[in-house]
Amino acid sequence: MNLDEEILKAEFFYKAASESYSLINGTNEKLDGKIRDMVGIISAIVPITIGLVYFVLDTLSTRIRLLTIPPLLLIYLTVLSLIFFASALILAVAGTFPQDFEFIDPSKLIENYKDESRIVILQRASATLASTVTANNKVCDRKAEVLKKKPSY
């Protein structure tokens, strides 16, 4: 291959690696958003459910004098909803726990390859981007796995 073909090939690999890098960063942001949304929804649903159940049980017990709601049932429902809330928080913390999400430091790239030819710079940048994408993909896979976990109750 002549030099022009080598440069075109290196540019192609760099473009593919760069687009993959952007894609994996977007995926990471979406996964983080889903985890935050999950915590927000659970934070809203749990108090509403507890309040609604308490209201319904209290209304039933005042309307029907014969029906007495055991206090133990209210305690059981409260504890159960707190367990659901805690498990959602544990999943959220596990999903957003700080992990090694890599990026390319352009200043180091410039410092290390300022005297190299264009093709060498493209090849090294492509290889660095590709390894960064691979590492970041593993981080996203772990976050997605946390979201897919089924509760074990």
Q: What is the pLDDT of residues 94-153, one digit of tens each?
A: 777 767 778 788 888 888 888 888 888 888 888 888 988 998 888 888 888 877 765 544
Domain count, the chain: 1
Of 18-22, 46-50, 54-58, where does the model show the most confidence? Answer: 18-22
Query: Looking at the predicted structure, is the pLDDT value of residue 35 above 60?
Result: yes
Domain hosting residue 102, numbered range: 3-148
Across the chain, what does the average pLDDT equal?
A: 80
Asked if 57 and 75 touch (Cβ cutoff 8 Å), the reply is no
Dihedral pair phi/psi, residue 120, rounded to 5°: -65, -40
Q: How far apart are CA 144 and CA 125, in angstroms?
A: 28
Asked if 125 and 14 touch (Cβ cutoff 8 Å), the reply is yes
Supply the pLDDT for residue 104. 80
| Of 71 and 86, the one with more pLDDT | 86
Supply the pLDDT for residue 65. 62
Instruction: Give the rounded distance of the alpha carbon of 38 from its chain centre.
Output: 10
- Flag whether 74 is in a domain: yes
- Flag whether 68 is in a domain: yes
Q: How far apart are CA 48 and CA 133, in angstroms?
A: 42
Give the ranges where 64-117 is alpha helix by DSSP (H): 71-96, 106-113
- Flag whether 153 is in a domain: no
Supply the pLDDT for residue 139. 86
Structure tokens at 85: 């809330």
| Predicted structure pTM score | 0.66
Based on its alpha-carbon atoms, the radius of gyration of the chain, rounded to whole angstroms, reads 27
